Amino acid sequence: MCDWTGKNVLFASGFSGIGFQMMHQLMQREKLKMLGIVHRMENVEMIKKLQAENPDVKVVFMQMNLMDKVSIEQTMKKMGQMMGNIDVLVNCEDVLLDKDVETTIGINLTAMIHVTMKAMPYMDKSQMGVGGVVMNMSSVYGLEPAPAFAVYAAAKHGVVGFTRSMGDMHIYQKTGVMFMTVCPGLTNTEMMMNLRDNVTWEHSEHLVEVIESAKRQMPEEAAVQVIKAMEMMKNGSMWIVDMGQLKEAMPQMHWQM
């Protein structure tokens, strides 16, 4: 099980949704050392609210453009140097804009890869780190097809593939860094608004109607389960978080060397 005592936790996340609810809940861990947030826009009021929840935990925000590799590199270097080492990295930036392929792939997948690789020197026990955990936010659409949101599904399948690959035992033995991915089901977040405007193509009306009428979990209850999955400390694992319940997703092997 994960011990949060003295840990530096870094979120690549906005100020809403599951990621922000995770921050709230982690701030209740009295022994946490530092909470870092990197995002394209600062929300001063939300940062103050987080800090007020636990004055003993230092909350730090740095602005970062997820569509700019140089911005990611510079920001992660500053954050890593400030923290000294990064114990936990949570990548939970999430956008659904299928008509904008570059942004959908860029934020959901490419940025996640860049952030992770730039954090690794401050996590890798063979470099400046002491090991740790990387939790990458995918989706149930990273496990199954999403005909209405094919681009989003492609990005989230990429998140699963990257995380499982980085969770290889050889990498863990060298770095001490565990990789895990969580796949939330339908969640009542801002991303669920205006679904009809964000489909891959126009032949999706019925598919969107089904999604809009389906039950959704609340971000707060999903966050509880994501943290629980992280605390399992199971390298290479995939977890489905749906309707406030946690279940491990077991991959099926189709090919092996």
237 lies in which domain range? 8-244
The confidence score (pLDDT) of residue 146 equals: 95
pLDDT of residue 133: 97
- The string of pLDDT tens digits covering residues 21-48 is 999 999 987 689 999 999 999 999 999 9
Residues 61, 38: Cα–Cα separation, whole Å = 6
Whether 255 is in a domain gets the answer no
Tell me if residue 34 falls in helix, strand or coil.
strand
- Model pLDDT, residue 104: 97
> Catalytic site residues?
152
> What pLDDT digit, counting tens, does each position of 156-170 carry?
999 999 999 999 999
Domain total in the chain: 1
Helix, strand, coil: what percent of the chain each, to 5? 45, 20, 35
CATH number for the domain spanning 145: value is 3.40.50.720
pLDDT (0 to 100) of residue 30: 67
The answer to whether residue 252 is domain-embedded is no
Tell me, yes or no, whether 257 lies in a domain.
Answer: no
pTM: 0.95
Query: Hey, what amino acid is at 118?
Result: K
For residue 224, tell me if it sits in a domain: yes
Alpha helix (H) ranges present in the chain? 17-26, 44-53, 69-83, 101-105, 111-119, 150-166, 169-175, 205-213, 219-231
Q: Is residue 50 part of a domain?
A: yes
Mean pLDDT for the stretch of residues 113-125: 98
Residue 254 lies in a domain: no
Q: Judge whether 7 and 86 are in contact, CB under 8 Å.
A: no
Q: Residue 107 above 70 pLDDT?
A: yes
Residue 253 forms part of a structural domain: no
Q: pLDDT digits over 177-210, tens only?
A: 999 999 999 999 988 888 888 999 888 888 999 9
Q: Is residue 251 part of a domain?
A: no
